[in-house]
Amino acid sequence: MTHERHGSQVSPKAEAALRAAANLLLSGQARCTDGALTKSNLHREAGVSRATMNRAADVLADWDRDVHASADRPQNDTGQSTLLERVSPDAAALKEEVRRLRHQLDGAATVIAALHLENRDLRRLGGRAGPHEVAAVTQLRHPQPQERHTR
């Protein structure tokens, strides 16, 4: 038995289920679908067949209107704009910190490369030491300071 109400040819129970599902999807609280605003998700969320949904002309007209309105809504209404305003200064500070650390890393890599080459050259000058051996260390004697003569 079908009930015809304002162009709908579905039972009040099916219409109520479709409207509840539409509200869930439009508010981003889908329970058993991916939440995309599609008619496939609408009938799945409602737990009715696609054919039943297609007979609910009033519900589908409201659905089309509400989906279109949500697509035209400014980002401010969804809270995304506020979130971006709050995150942007942090992101800028983090980008600056990354830039500073990369510069510091490049400097450190340059120093390490120079020290490696100097170390290699010093090992070669050691004479007896092989490429992977350390040459003997000779202690340098510092001259003793001359004593001051007092008169």
Q: What is the pLDDT of residues 86-111, one digit of tens each?
A: 677 778 888 889 999 999 999 999 99
135 pLDDT more than 80: no
What residue spans of 27-78 are helical by DSSP H?
39-46, 50-55, 57-72, 75-78
Residue 63: the pLDDT is: 92
Q: Which amino acid is at 40?
A: S
Please answer whether residues 59 and 8 qualify as being in contact, where contact means their C-beta atoms are separated by less than 8 angstroms.
yes
User: Would you say residue 112 has pLDDT above 90?
Assistant: yes
Cα–Cα distance, 122 to 134 (Å, whole number): 9
Q: What are phi and psi of 133, to 5 degrees?
A: -110, 155
Is the CB of residue 59 less than 8 Å from the CB of residue 65?
Answer: no
Q: How far apart are CA 13 and CA 26, in angstroms?
A: 20
41-50, 53-62, 70-79, 113-122: least confident range: 70-79
- Residues comprising the chain, all counted: 151
For all residues of the chain together, what is the average pLDDT? 80
44, 33 Cβ separation under 8 angstroms:
yes
pLDDT at 1: 38
At 120, the amino acid letter reads R
Torsion of CA 59, 9, 40, 74, to 10 degrees: -10
Mean pLDDT of 38-58: 92
pLDDT, position 114 = 93
Only one residue has tokens 């696609």, namely 50
Over range 140-151, report the average pLDDT. Answer: 64
